Structure 1
Amino acid sequence: MVFAEGNDNPYPIDGYKTTGIRRLVRLQKIIDGQIKDTKPIPGALKSINDIKLNLLGERGDSLAEFPQSDKKLQQKLNGLFPNLDESYSVALLDITNGKKIRYASRQDAKRFQPGSVGKLAIITGLFNELERLYPNSYEDRVNLLRTRSVRAGTWGNYDEHTVPFFDTITNVLVKRTVKEYDVFSLYEWVDHMLSVSNNGAASIVWREALLMRAFGQAYPALTEEQASEYFKSTPKSVMQKLATAVVNEPLQKIGISEEEWRLGSMFTQGAKRIVPGEGGSIGSPRGLMKFLIALERGKIVDVQSSLEIKRMMYMTDRRIRYGSSPRLTNAAIYFKSGSLYQCKPEEGFTCKKYMGNVQNYMNSVVIVEQPDGSTYMVVLMTNVLKKNSNLDHMGLASSIDDLIRKK
């Protein structure tokens, strides 16, 4: 048995007019007292206009080459690990404004199955294709995300993660798994992919990025029938190469090698039957830290695309694992978590969620912005067998926050 999971809820709450993501309307109504429910925590209340990139200009240019370890920070980081599993691998970069940029790591080249963290490669691929469609107009790219709606089809099969269906008129919220007949805008499919880490949504967004590459300028008017015919008539080997190119080429463009991070296959069985995988997926703290650096530098496609991806990563709802640390309650965090676990029969062992005895990956990618100005980025990847490491991840988040912020 193999299971993949992640559960995050990003994007600034006041971004509905920009995106058309209906989930955000409900959160705004909760804040305004129109709907009775738990209000978001302080760190989740940033406006869409408050989110900025932290490494533009000369400060970011200093990170054109991957940073060397800072001796003092490295010593402090090493002191956090005497009682944790050997598999713990981490990359930490302190980018607090007004201070020296500092890097420290532990086994940052070690490779893991990235799980749902790999969905960051899909949104990167999507924005790369949007730039190819509309090289001279970012507004046209955003307009396509907001106005083009597509049906799930068999690509949404199968995933246990529910997605929200919110009626902005009646205020009725329904959460259920994706069905083949469900239709959402590209923006909402992206939000489902990152917010509740829905695997069907990930396959659908990847599908649309692939179709953008295949059809080029004809994509905006592409019908479902034309798309279906393409997938029926195109050799699987051709689609396989195109699919991996769409998500991996943009990573290589920002200096991430295939050994540091790559995505190899779709996220649902329905999608894999149409477009087979190739080579498997791997990730490393170093490769994912390169992604975060490029994001903050505005180098993921361009500055506007980087900023929008960062907004899509912003946590506006329930935080899990690393992100659930009480130390981060007042901090803005830009976050993606993911896991993959696999079990086999073993005497005296019962398979449970996130407690695999064959593999038990749990990964987090996070940018933390504290109210006091402390700003840092963390990539944490682990494979601790037979143990749900979520509490250890939360504890480590608290320790790292103390390490960065205490003088």
Structure 2
Amino acid sequence: MKIKTAARSALIALLLLFTVVEALPYPIDGYAYSGIRRLLRLQKIIDGEVKDTKPIPGALKSINDIKLNLLGTKGDSLVTLPDADKKLQQQLSSLFPNLDESYSVALMDITPGKKIRYAGRQETKGFQPGSVGKLAVLAGLFTELANLYPDSYEKRIALLKTKMVRAGTWGNFDSHTVPFYNPETGEFFKRTVREDDVFSLFEWADHMLSVSNNSAASIVWREVMLMRAFGKDYPALTEAKATEYFTTTPKATLKTLANEVVNAPLRKLDITEDEWRLGSMFTQGAKKIVPGEGGSIGTPRGLMKYLVAMERGKIVDQKSSLEIKRLMYMTDRRIRYGSSPRLTNAAIYFKSGSLYKCKPEEGFECKKYMGNVENYMNSVVIVEQPDGTIYMVALMSNVLKKNSNLDHLGLGSSIDDLIRKK
């Protein structure tokens, strides 16, 4: 379906919500395991075979070096989030007097050999999560993979690697580009997703996190729905059969299924509906097929529960949790909170999301991440410093008419300083 560019641009200027994360997760040496083709090019850059900017030190962790930090008795102590540590709470609170009142955060220090410490600020306050919500889609994906192959994790990974799916109208529309790399010819370019683009499930999941591509998120969510609907017949499912399913199934049934496959996994993690829920698809093309329900909301507390569950190996199982963590690992350009120079040598597992909305206002020009109606900017991050310090942060804000990326960067530096004070 073609669109009228001028009309669409005008709509975007006033109402659109955006999320941009131009960074590349997943360990660079994971190509043979995952089949994610862009990783091979990154490896060639590191090896000097391709000329391009090399990743920073914190991005060079091997796929075999990524571990879960809260297994065993240490994680068992976090069935519920702990009470605030008095000293850490005072230190965290001291960072906010000069920042907008909307800033809300949950912070947890899980450094090995030390007492777990927690602190928060308005951590139960609700925000539109933006693309942070894609982590819920990821939990849904691994939940359905486990339903398909309960006794074989290897078959789950094989399906992610070999099942190729076309974008179709679900990919319409997103302004964020995705990388295309041909290992045989070396051709590399980036562009927006088109209906005829085909990637593996693993690559679509990677696009969903790495460049926060909304098209990829809707496509992965579609496949999660199909896994639930077709069960053991999903691996051999054709595009024609999938299209027939979405054409003939009542909209109300699709809406209920879409809601169930991404939100039920959160409830299993004791994340309540008020703490985090995902309400609608990420692209207009997908929303025309599957209606939304109930809206989306997130809180720092709900997001922190997700990070804790992942580090405990409780998102489906240990192997699935580890795979989700690998997909969150940043191996290229870092933005917002993750761009703090204090984190250059640290491994970070990161997802950022933003959503802004504008209305006409005299003297005000609508720009990206500077909405005058809504202007959400959110980050979740696990930081692993070379000195052994490990901590997790869920940060959310809604500062109108201001791009808060530099404030998020500054908080990244300040929080790292207070956690690592001797």
Question: Which residue of 1 is the match for residue 268 of structure 2?
Answer: 253
CA distance in 2, matches of 1:42, 1:153: 38
Deviations 1:95-118 (A, max 9, x none): 000000000000000000000000
CA distance in 2, matches of 1:224, 1:65: 43
CA distance in 2, matches of 1:247, 1:198: 17
Percent identical:
76
> Helix, strand or coil: the match of 2:160?
helix
Question: Which residue of 2 is the match for residue 117 of structure 1?
Answer: 132
**What residue identity is the alignment partner of 2:17?**
F
Q: State TM-score, norm by structure 1.
A: 1.00
Question: Which residue of 1 is the match for residue 240 of structure 2?
Answer: 225
Is 1:2 the counterpart of 2:16 in the alignment?
yes
Deviations 1:278-320 (A, max 9, x none): 0000000000000000000000000000000000000001000
Q: 1:171 offset after TM fit, Å?
A: 1.8
Q: 1:167 offset after TM fit, Å?
A: 1.2
Is 1:381 the counterpart of 2:389 in the alignment?
no
Instruction: Write out aligned runs for 1:27-38 (5 A).
Output: 27-38=42-53
CA distance in 1, matches of 2:388, 2:42: 26
CA distance in 2, matches of 1:5, 1:62: 35
1:14 to 29, 33, 37: 29
Question: Which residue of 2 is the match for residue 236 of structure 1?
Answer: 251
2:327 to 304, 312, 321: 312
Is 1:210 the counterpart of 2:225 in the alignment?
yes
Question: Which residue of 1 is the match for residue 318 of structure 2?
Answer: 303
Question: Which residue of 2 is the match for residue 405 of structure 1?
Answer: 420
Is 1:41 the counterpart of 2:56 in the alignment?
yes
> Helix, strand or coil: the match of 1:361?
strand
**What residue identity is the alignment partner of 2:27?**
P
**What residue identity is the alignment partner of 1:219?**
Y
CA distance in 1, matches of 2:345, 2:186: 28
**What residue identity is the alignment partner of 1:253?**
K
Q: State TM-score, norm by structure 2.
A: 0.96
Q: 1:360 offset after TM fit, Å?
A: 0.1
CA distance in 2, matches of 1:92, 1:123: 23
CA distance in 1, matches of 2:90, 2:194: 51
Question: Which residue of 2 is the match for residue 159 of structure 1?
Answer: 174
CA distance in 2, matches of 1:280, 1:3: 14
| Greater shift in the superposed pair: 33-42 or 163-172 | 163-172
1:84 to 94, 99, 109: 99
1:179 to 177, 187, 194: 194
CA distance in 1, matches of 2:307, 2:274: 17
CA distance in 2, matches of 1:45, 1:67: 33
1:98 to 107, 113, 117: 113
- Equivalent pairs counted in the alignment come to 407
> Helix, strand or coil: the match of 1:144?
helix
Deviations 1:188-239 (A, max 9, x none): 0000100000000000000000000000011001000000000010000001
1:272 to 281, 287, 293: 287
Deviations 1:381-406 (A, max 9, x none): 00000000000000000000000001
CA distance in 2, matches of 1:106, 1:337: 19
> Helix, strand or coil: the match of 1:3?
coil
CA distance in 1, matches of 2:191, 2:27: 23
CA RMSD of aligned residues (A): 0.5
5+ residue gaps, structure 1, are none
| Greater shift in the superposed pair: 363-372 or 6-15 | 6-15
CA distance in 2, matches of 1:302, 1:4: 32
